[in-house]
Structure 1
Amino acid sequence: MSTEQEVSGTTDLLYQLDDRPPVAKAFFAGLQHVLASFVGVITPTLIIGGVLGLGEHIPYLISMALIVSGVGTFIQAKKIGPVGAGMICVQGTSFAFLGSVLAAGFLAKSQGGGPEEILSLIFGVCFLGAFIEIFLSQALSKMKRIITPLVTGIVITIIGISLIKVGMTDLAGGFKAPDFGSLQNLALGFTVLVVIIALNRSANPWLRLSSIVIGLIVGMVIAMFMGKVDFSSVGSQPLVSIPVPFKYGFSFDWVAFLPIALIYFITAIESAGDITANCSVSKQPIKGEGYIKRVSNGVLGDGVNSLLAATFNTFPNTTFSQNNGVIQLTGVASRYIGYYIALILVVLGLFPVLGAVLQQIPKPVLGGATLVMFGTVAAAGIKIIASEELTRRKLLIMAVSFGVGLGVTLVPDLLQQAPKLVQNVFGSAVTSGGLVAIILSLLLPEDKAMVAAERESYAYSKQTAN
């Protein structure tokens, strides 16, 4: 039996964390991670640029987002000293900062600032805010009552469920699409989904490894015949984009800084959850000193990468959740795949025309691929929770956290009467649900006598059933 077969048979992974896959397989695995994260990397920039009227600066900002994501992914995979988790932790522009970044931009705009003044203030407050995440990463080892499997499992599950909405929206055609929910879009998206599922169940490791890429290619070809692909804008892209530190200057304002600082605190907890999910799908420990150290190093990597992001004119970075789904689907957890992901992202950033081609992938095609990945993220969170002994206290924490977090998602107008700062912070399911899980874990004491009684009752009921 080959090493590859042994690994697959014993751990359900084709390649484990420190294995080195052949170049061709590693490239395909890396490409699938890029395809899973590409839209997530550039979308916040497109939203911010459009809302704040940044116009001609948007292509450059997109290029910088891709380059910094590549460099950050390399740092996480390589682990430079204490910086980096040493895993496939794909870095990308964080959606969590959208509200606070837009608030900072509107503040600069209200003071008469143009695009360069807007970006100067945004990148200034984001640069200084990154030190909050860097500081928190060093305190995680002392926060064992917060960074527990229960809390991280709840956060990961909420992340996955929240992302499912994004995947399903894309599958139907994309937000505010004129043909949203059309039979053509649904058929296209579900075709991609079926192809990926079928290939992922194949015994052939090459087909399993390439399931997402093949699914996207099949979807793209069908979409071209349906007239849903337009490459006319590709030729208008600049030939090369060169990174220039603080190209737009550096400025600061406390009013803009405070909301961003709070989001950095939340994303540190979110990143801890994402890295825990990565450990789970990569068959690494999710308890003990080694696990805490890996999470601390990964969150430190997020903070350092956000420093780089602000320095090189893009928005805060975080560890992407969807790539844990890619690891689960492909069975490739090798951290060396991170090197290939980094290279592809940097090349896409340096040569914008390549990124422009990927931007033409229709939303239903992407939705069909990402839907199963996002569902896998939620399943990873449930798996972590299931590994815990679920006492009444833990069930109560889960119930309230899911209720609040998902309630905010299901009823988005809940906070419409609240101050804008409260809306920006607690309007996110991950933020509200995660904070509730943390607060209840700290406030609700563990009753050891009650736990012992529950164990005894469970053992008795199991014995009776047998």
Structure 2
Amino acid sequence: MSADSPVYHLEDRPGPLASLLAAFQHVLASFVGIIAPSLIVGGALGLEQYLPYLLSMALFVSGVATWIQSQRLGPLGSGLLSIQGTSFSFVAALIAAGQAARTDGASDEAVIATLIGVCAMGSFIEIALGGMLHRLKRIITPTVTGVVVTLIGLSLVKVGVTDMAGGVGAEDFGSLANLGLAALVIVVVLACQMSRHPWLRIGSVFYGLVIVVVLACQMSRHPWLRIGSVFYGLVIGCVAAVFTGHFNAELESLRWFALPQPLRFGIGFDWAAFVPVAFIFLVTAIETVGDLTGTARASGEPISGPVHQRRLRGGVLADGVNSLLAALFNTFPNTTFSQNTGVVQLTGVASRHVGRYVAAILLMLGLVPALGSVLQYIPRPVLGAATTLMFGLIAVSGIRILSDQAMTRKTIMTIAVSLGMGLGVQLVPEALSGLPDTARQIFASPITTGGLSAILCTLLLPGGAPAPEEAHQPQAGVTPRRSS
């Protein structure tokens, strides 16, 4: 078994313990991402009194959507171990829409109803794209998806490193204590990954409490060490945080049950708010193609051909349907989570059957908010260290997709322009200050700008010319002369 090959492949069925361990790591990797958009939007629009319910529904819908995406329901779903969660891409557009509704005198309930209506209508755009994805091969090429996957990973690294330093607004941001906790997690994960004991990789965050036993078995070939590698790192980091005073959980006043209420706030609509949201649904479909391609590669599955195309169509279609489902249950659009591709690669567990366990855990967290509240107290440096590694692996996955392409002049220039533009707007956001507010919000995303740049280059640049260095490669059947 090579270092990159999965411990459990797509159709393998791990035992309950291995499945729970792998599933819990996926939940840890995605939990903050699932609840963060609702926290940000609700906080910005003054919806604090409804936040507990919005967070519960975000987790509940993510559980249902993950089951659909990973298990495949008819034409819906990719059939890959792909986790669904609330999309970050819509945050700026939803805040702008909510603030506009506030200006018009809308109540809290009316604001939420407008956001839900706009998202519900926009979801039909992605549903339509899922049905015609096979006709967009000229636009969504491996080069485009490779660029998008790379930008997804690189754009998320800042989030991970910020958490490593303590999180936004932390009084001890960048302190040696925070960086030390993060370093400890990284060391544990790397030790598990470099070990020949596969169970270290599968459960790398879980076995921190018994790390002495684990390290004694490092050279073993037992798969448990690889499966738990991320989990070990997180547990050890949390234990260290307890002793250093960085783990401060406040468990009073926890809510123990939340009942889903479809369209609890009603449904509204606003054309001005719909236009940017509709465009973001188009971009989200491209992101989903990139996410699913990265997950397929990490799972040892093909990333081209009819099987992959069927998975992409089902995945994008499920994205749209799940976003419609999210609107029905009073939360924001869903999408595939790129960070979970990193979990698949780190743990070596690619079995889609683990998705059932992930879905069950997310459903439980949604229905029992108290359980989810406990996970919120994992120290930021601990979680940030693990996610930074995952985000880096996503970027590597994108780079590997790009490296598989024939490096024609068109391919090279497409990659150069799209990566340059995508990273440029992230590193120098002031460069967009001259644009209208809506355009600035749209193009401030490196994924949006880089992905659209890649599509435009793919459509407009003349293709096929080999890169200069390719012209010097030996022709097929000709053995190059070796120097002595």
TM-score range, shorter chain: over 0.9
1:459 aligns with 2:462: no
- Relative to structure 2, which stretch is displaced further, 150-159 or 450-459? 450-459
Task: Show the counterpart of 1:209.
Answer: 227
Match of 1:357 among 337, 355, 374: 374
- Write out aligned runs for 1:298-337 (5 A): 298-337=315-354
Task: Show the counterpart of 1:39.
Answer: 32
CA apart distance, 1:348 = 0.7
2-structure distance, mates of 1:359, 1:400: 39
CA apart distance, 1:339 = 0.4
Match of 1:220 among 238, 249, 259: 238
Please give the secondary structure, in 2, of the residue aligned with 1:235.
Answer: coil
Q: Which runs of 4+ in 1 moved over 6 A?
A: none
- Write out aligned runs for 1:317-396 (5 A): 317-396=334-413
Question: Structure 2 length normalisation: TM-score?
Answer: 0.92
1-structure distance, mates of 2:479, 2:42: 59
2-structure distance, mates of 1:98, 1:465: 57
Task: Show the counterpart of 2:276.
Answer: 259
1:58 aligns with 2:29: no
Task: Show the counterpart of 2:182.
Answer: 189
1:128 aligns with 2:125: no
Please give the secondary structure, in 2, of the residue aligned with 1:207.
Answer: coil
Verify the 8 A CA contact 1:186 1:364 in the aligned structure 2. yes
Higher helix share: 1
Verify the 8 A CA contact 2:289 2:312 in the aligned structure 1. yes
Write the letter of the residue equivalent to 2:118: V
2-structure distance, mates of 1:125, 1:257: 5
Verify the 8 A CA contact 2:84 2:336 in the aligned structure 1. yes
1:422 aligns with 2:439: yes
CA apart distance, 1:235 = 2.5
Unmatched 5+ stretches in structure 1: 1-7
For residues 306-360 of structure 1, what are the alpha-carbon distances to aligned partners after superposition, in whole Å with 9 as ceiling and x for unaligned? 0010110111011000101111011110000100000001101111111000000
Q: How many residues align?
A: 456
Unmatched 5+ stretches in structure 2: 198-222
Write the letter of the residue equivalent to 1:410: L
- Relative to structure 2, which stretch is displaced further, 450-459 or 415-424? 450-459
1:199 aligns with 2:192: yes
CA apart distance, 1:454 = 6.6
Verify the 8 A CA contact 1:69 1:91 in the aligned structure 2. yes
1:108 aligns with 2:101: yes
CA apart distance, 1:149 = 1.1
- Write out aligned runs for 1:137-148 (5 A): 137-148=130-141
Counting aligned pairs with the same residue, the percent is 50
CA apart distance, 1:237 = 2.2
Please give the secondary structure, in 2, of the residue aligned with 1:146.
Answer: coil
Write the letter of the residue equivalent to 1:22: G
Write the letter of the residue equivalent to 1:150: T
CA apart distance, 1:223 = 0.8
Please give the secondary structure, in 2, of the residue aligned with 1:206.
Answer: coil
For residues 413-456 of structure 1, what are the alpha-carbon distances to aligned partners after superposition, in whole Å with 9 as ceiling and x for unaligned? 11122111111110000000000000100111213xx3399755
Task: Show the counterpart of 1:48.
Answer: 41
Write the letter of the residue equivalent to 2:18: K
Verify the 8 A CA contact 2:5 2:300 in the aligned structure 1. no
Task: Show the counterpart of 1:412.
Answer: 429
Task: Show the counterpart of 1:438.
Answer: 455
Verify the 8 A CA contact 1:276 1:286 in the aligned structure 2. yes
- Write out aligned runs for 1:212-291 (5 A): 212-232=230-250, 234-291=251-308
CA apart distance, 1:176 = 2.4
Write the letter of the residue equivalent to 2:447: V
